[in-house]
Structure 1
Amino acid sequence: MAIVELSKLSVIGLNDRKTQILKGLMDLGVVEINNQDGKLTDENWSSFIEKDGDEVVVYGLDTKISEASNALDALNKYDKGKKPFIKVRKPLKESEFEAKLKNRDAIEETVAEVNGIYKDITRLKNEESKINTAIIGLRPWVQYDLPLDMTGTRFTSIFIGTVPAVTVVEDVERAVSEKSDGAVVYKVSSDEHQSYLSVVCFNEEKNDVLEVLRQNNFTPIAFNEVSGKANENIVRFEKELEEIRKNILSLEEQLSQMASNKPDVEILHDNFIIERDKAKILSSIVKTKTAFYFDGWLPKAKEEEVKGILEQNGCFYDFKQPQKDEEKPILLEQNSIMEPFEAITNLYSVPSVKDIDPTPFLAPFYFIFFGMMLSDAGYGIIMAVACFILLNRFRLEGMMKKLVKMFMYCGISTTFWGVMFGGYFGDFIPVVAKTLFHKDMVINALWFNPIDEPMTLLIFSLILGAIHLFVGMGIKGYMLIKDGRPVDALCDIFLWYVLLIGLVLFGIGGRVGTGLVTAGKYMSIVGVLGILFTAGREKKGIVGKLLGGLGSLYGITSYLSDILSYSRLLALGLATGVISQVINTLGSMAGGGVAGAIVMVVAFVIGHTFNIGINALGSFVHASRLQYVEFFGKFFEGGGSAFNPFNKKTKYVEIIKEEK
């Protein structure tokens, strides 16, 4: 349950064995290869090495990956088969994977065909959209008896266009007639936005009439791509639409029938990823005319396996232990209980080389806090069972598997605290007994009911918060001692322990015995004086040291605010219980009988589904926040880079390595 010890690997090999070496390392999947760009500018290296790799090859494989991905998107869109609830990688033996790729050329032809068909569908849909837009533009002119492309005769000019709906057409007619006695303004149609007009005038009056129309917000319309009357064009367009839709349906049916090729295309896609990664990793290698060099990191426990591959291919290699505080990737390793909570750590940040793995320390607190916030046995059982089913029904991996397993544990915690606080879908069981069966039933909390005794829960929450913070401070003290700074641990951690514990004893120790009050008083004095005279020890001069000590003592307010933050355990716990009771009360308002039972069931399903969703989310967020702000703030820096080994990072298929 810690950060895995890594070794630094350096390798020199012959170029003619490079492909086999990289394949072996990729299959093993335990070595992270470093970028070697720094050596290209190092005067000790740059004179006889050059960067390996070919970006053109990588670009070409990226293009193939994109094409295969587009084909899969198209097939998924028109696949009429049952879609999986959760998309997971399918396990496939290495020999089966390679056997499928024997038909690689045929699969690539399928990808090209699928993309071609989908491209045709897209083109036809664009045409369909364009024609529909044209029809919409033509419909207001259906009553117009002249061809839309007719702009005049030998002696007359014809304009068609629109004016805003707020413009009074009669006013336009009047204004035009004042300029020309022979001009005619005809209202073809109108809608809520505008009126559609046709204007005819003599050629010699054209400019004057246009000027009047512009003054009345007239916007000319030109139908450049149509000829003839509007209704004739609409009929023609509708026939074209019918033909286009038939073609689209035919092409979509082709894609639907080709959906059975998805598994093969997925294998091809993942093979392209493997080939791309092999080509891409070459850019992290430097070479001469005959040899190559790279370095990287691997778990110390895997040295023998890597050594076997390197010796088999005649490489010179060297394993070294990293120097203190040397930058290196971080690999975390947990037992099966702690591993799910690693997701909480990684959602915040990977530990730095100076950190210790916080996961084993945050896990029990997160488990407790989440359960206290949701604190309903019914909700907890649903969460735990649902997550258990997901874990056993699907081959979940990575972050998703960790989160689902963590929520299963949190469901168990929620069930426990629900029993302790007496929450079973709120007070659903007593309400049902009273409303539908007219019987009084009471389910007592095993400990206490937070709605009746909120102060008890608040005090308990603050005590848990203090323990949480003290653990964080203790981890910081351990890190300081391990780093060879015991004085800092004494001054910056232990004295705060003395002060904070002393203040607690001085404040509430009298309830146990007067001796605790006295002890608390002296502990507080020792703590204050110790911090005052030691916290500013790095500053110059007596005044500077004292001011530094006073500034540090002011930090006691931050401890107070940190502890008060744990009141959210009370707030969210009460929110879950109160909302549950409100839902149950609403469900009981219809009374007994069949109608009342139906209302009760509907309110139960809808209301409690909402409540478990919103409060489970709130519990996840706020339990995480207590770790990230209050707990991590005491000792954790973060900012590390996760160990990223050179392996087969497939998307659709999990390649199972077979024992030879």
Structure 2
Amino acid sequence: MTIVPLVKVNLIGILDDKDKVLEAAQTFGSLHLIPLSSAQKELEAVPEGLGREAVEALRWLVEGPVQRRPVTVSDDFDLETIVPQALQNRKALKACQDRLAQLERRIRDVEPWGEFSFSDLAEIGDNRLWFYVVPNGKIDLIDPAGKIMEIVHRDKYRAYVVLLSPEEPPSDAMPVPRVHVGTLSLSQLHHRYEQAAIELEDLELERQSLTKWRYVLAQNLAAARDRSARHRAGLETADRERVFVLQAWARKDQVSEIEDLAGALGLAVLFDQVSDKDKPPTLLQNTHSMEGGEDLVAFYQTPGYRDWDPSAIVYVSFIIFFGMIMTDAGYGLLLLLVLFLFRKRFGGSELGTRMLRMSAWLMISTTAFGIATGSYFGIAPPQGSFLAHLKILDLKDVDVMMKITLTIGVVHIVLANTMRAINAKTPSARFQPLGWSLVALGGLATFLGQATLFATIGPVSVVVGLLLVGFFGSDRMVDSVSSGGLRVFDGLAALARIVNIFSDVLSYMRLFALGLAAASLAETINSLSGQLNQAVPGIGILIAILVLAIGHAINIGLGLIAGCVHGLRLNVIEFFNWGLKDEGKPFRPFKKEETRL
């Protein structure tokens, strides 16, 4: 785990060659550009015709349920034709689906009335038909006097009544308000439904046909965004008469490659080392197995360039914390199986591969802690069995679990302070973290070593640590009474963090609390399903299985949320609070966009 050393690159060339240089730099793909002049924000947008509409069209085609073989050669591709076609297809298809749903609903409402059509008013003496759906219990409330009515259909719950009258009957004439059947007969509704269904099939076939352009469309979008990025980069160079300067940050170990690039392009190149006034971006570099830690770190805060890379520690500790929170071997093995079955869905990108690897380790950690605590879908293994011998922790032993979680908290915070001290440049920045480490270790020794020698050593360690923190409260020079007073004030202000370290260590108790809660909920689900099985003979087994499935699914969902939120929070809040000093900005290489589907 390391923060890659950078160097400032200055490329100087002829203004007429700037476009060619920018494209070469984008192809090189390892330069973090430094703006030398401001660019208008509106120029960051993708050019007209290749923007949001094209993105929406591409998404519509990629998400199609049936895909044709993609066209990879764009000779016959017309962007201005395909994009409107795809968007029009989406609009028409969704409108057709809505129309089908509406017709299906109308048919369901009209079917009880049977096949009918409205006659000319003159043929029936200027009378109109009024429709009512009357519950069977309210039929007797209808007064037939002076009414021309007919019950055209009746089922178990309601009667369908048609009333003949020139004007709408008063509201108290019937026990229920009238319903609106519409002017279309049942046969007409069925005919329209058939036409809409055929239209929908045609639109789906059109969408399927258009999917052959998805690859070429994606290429055009990537190329458009690349052109847009070059356009903006061109606005941020320093141009003077016939010369331009392109400035960027680059890896120090790529100096020779940049020199070769500059030579091939006919550019002058100057390299400047990082100065104290510079604020370079941060480029993290970890081993292949620890790359997932970079994503966890970047999720909350990128460390400063002059700080240190916590990726590996955050990665390992997050996996451990997640396993302690889920802490069920059955859940871990089940989710491992799910990951295995859906592993191909993660293979489309480097990020997906890293997420799959990290997810597998999270489930392995969950399984390991589940075995250690003897929890298999909330069921403890039988006494004397092989699995029972593997149980080394009891979640219900509050005293032991409290000691374990507090020890983990102290070790985590001491590790953060130690790494900060190692990478510090000033006495204050170096000895304050060491002092807080002694305070944390001393407090833990006092708590764990009651009635032993550690109970004596612990308070001494706390006092020594506080003296270090107070004495090295700042790097202020003492050359007068006022500066001496300010130095004392700095020390007292630094000592105020004792409340923080105490609360941060206690915060790790959530590992035990959440693990116990998950295990207790799993046991409760099992107990409840067993009681239901006994209480309802026969069908009770089906109810019990349903309760088990739903209950454990909910518990797994809660465990995943708690494991991610709290496992990550202990790293990015408590750990970063003691381990990192500065927040930096990520290294964003100026490179061409990849075409992915």
Residue 85 of structure 2 aligns with an amino acid whose one-letter code is E
Residue 567 of structure 1 aligns with an amino acid whose one-letter code is M
CA drift of 1:512 comes to 3.0
Cα distance in structure 2, aligned partners of 1:192 and 1:328: 79
Q: 1:59-98 counterparts in 2 under 5 A?
A: 61-76=47-62, 79-80=65-66
Give yes or no for contact 1:422–1:445 (8 Å, CA) kept in 2.
no
1:467 aligns with 2:411: yes
Cα distance in structure 2, aligned partners of 1:387 and 1:236: 51
Aligned counterpart, 1:25: 25
Residue 509 of structure 2 aligns with an amino acid whose one-letter code is S
CA drift of 1:392 comes to 5.7
Using a 3 Å threshold, how does the CA distance of structure 1 residues 594 and 16 change in structure 2: closer, same or farther? farther
CA drift of 1:242 comes to 7.5
Using a 3 Å threshold, how does the CA distance of structure 1 residues 21 and 595 change in structure 2: closer, same or farther? same
Give yes or no for contact 1:375–1:423 (8 Å, CA) kept in 2.
yes
- Per-residue CA distance 1:320-373 (angstroms, 9 max, x = gap): 222135112211110122211222101111112232111123233222222212
1:328 aligns with 2:270: no
Using a 3 Å threshold, how does the CA distance of structure 1 residues 374 and 17 change in structure 2: closer, same or farther? same
Aligned counterpart, 2:316: 364
Aligned counterpart, 1:181: none
Cα distance in structure 1, aligned partners of 2:176 and 2:248: 68
CA drift of 1:195 comes to 8.4
1:611 aligns with 2:563: no
Give yes or no for contact 1:388–1:405 (8 Å, CA) kept in 2.
no
Give yes or no for contact 1:376–1:577 (8 Å, CA) kept in 2.
yes
Aligned counterpart, 1:35: 35
Cα distance in structure 1, aligned partners of 2:265 and 2:529: 73
SS at match of 1:456: helix
1:100 aligns with 2:44: no
Q: Which structure has the larger Rg over C-alpha atoms?
A: 1
The runs of 5 or more residues in structure 2 that have no matched partner are 108-116, 123-165
Cα distance in structure 1, aligned partners of 2:46 and 2:438: 65
Q: 1:488-499 counterparts in 2 under 5 A?
A: 488-490=429-431, 492-499=432-439
Equivalent residue pairs, number: 545
1:395 aligns with 2:347: yes
Counterpart selection for 1:380 from 302, 307, 332: 332
TM-score with structure 1 setting the length: 0.69
TM-score with structure 2 setting the length: 0.76
CA drift of 1:106 comes to 4.5
- Per-residue CA distance 1:398-421 (angstroms, 9 max, x = gap): 444333322211222222222221
Using a 3 Å threshold, how does the CA distance of structure 1 residues 81 and 397 change in structure 2: closer, same or farther? closer
Residue 420 of structure 2 aligns with an amino acid whose one-letter code is K
SS at match of 2:75: helix
Cα distance in structure 1, aligned partners of 2:54 and 2:553: 39
Give yes or no for contact 2:14–2:242 (8 Å, CA) kept in 1.
yes
Residue 362 of structure 1 aligns with an amino acid whose one-letter code is V
- Per-residue CA distance 1:561-597 (angstroms, 9 max, x = gap): 1111111111111122112222222343426999777
Give yes or no for contact 1:355–1:638 (8 Å, CA) kept in 2.
yes
Give yes or no for contact 1:53–1:283 (8 Å, CA) kept in 2.
no
Give yes or no for contact 2:374–2:380 (8 Å, CA) kept in 1.
no
Aligned counterpart, 1:413: 365
1:555 aligns with 2:483: no
1:304 aligns with 2:256: yes
Aligned counterpart, 1:342: 294
Residue 281 of structure 1 aligns with an amino acid whose one-letter code is A
Using a 3 Å threshold, how does the CA distance of structure 1 residues 545 and 3 change in structure 2: closer, same or farther? closer
Aligned counterpart, 1:172: none
Give yes or no for contact 2:374–2:381 (8 Å, CA) kept in 1.
no
CA drift of 1:10 comes to 1.0
Give yes or no for contact 1:32–1:298 (8 Å, CA) kept in 2.
yes
CA drift of 1:464 comes to 0.9
Residue 430 of structure 2 aligns with an amino acid whose one-letter code is A
Cα distance in structure 1, aligned partners of 2:494 and 2:175: 70
Aligned counterpart, 1:643: 587
Give yes or no for contact 2:326–2:366 (8 Å, CA) kept in 1.
yes
RMSD over aligned Cα atoms: 4.7
Counterpart selection for 2:400 from 433, 456, 459: 456
CA drift of 1:297 comes to 1.6
Moved more, 453-462 or 230-239: 230-239
Using a 3 Å threshold, how does the CA distance of structure 1 residues 248 and 613 change in structure 2: closer, same or farther? closer
Q: 1:164-175 counterparts in 2 under 5 A?
A: none
Cα distance in structure 2, aligned partners of 1:23 and 1:561: 53
Moved more, 525-534 or 352-361: 525-534
Aligned counterpart, 2:427: 486
Cα distance in structure 2, aligned partners of 1:191 and 1:132: 28
Using a 3 Å threshold, how does the CA distance of structure 1 residues 282 and 445 change in structure 2: closer, same or farther? farther
Aligned counterpart, 1:511: 451
CA drift of 1:283 comes to 2.5
The runs of 5 or more residues in structure 1 that have no matched partner are 39-50, 83-89, 91-96, 136-141, 148-183, 197-229, 431-438, 654-660
Give yes or no for contact 2:77–2:213 (8 Å, CA) kept in 1.
no
CA drift of 1:107 comes to 5.9
Aligned counterpart, 1:567: 509
Using a 3 Å threshold, how does the CA distance of structure 1 residues 429 and 193 change in structure 2: closer, same or farther? farther
Aligned counterpart, 1:216: none
CA drift of 1:52 comes to 11
Residue 286 of structure 2 aligns with an amino acid whose one-letter code is Q
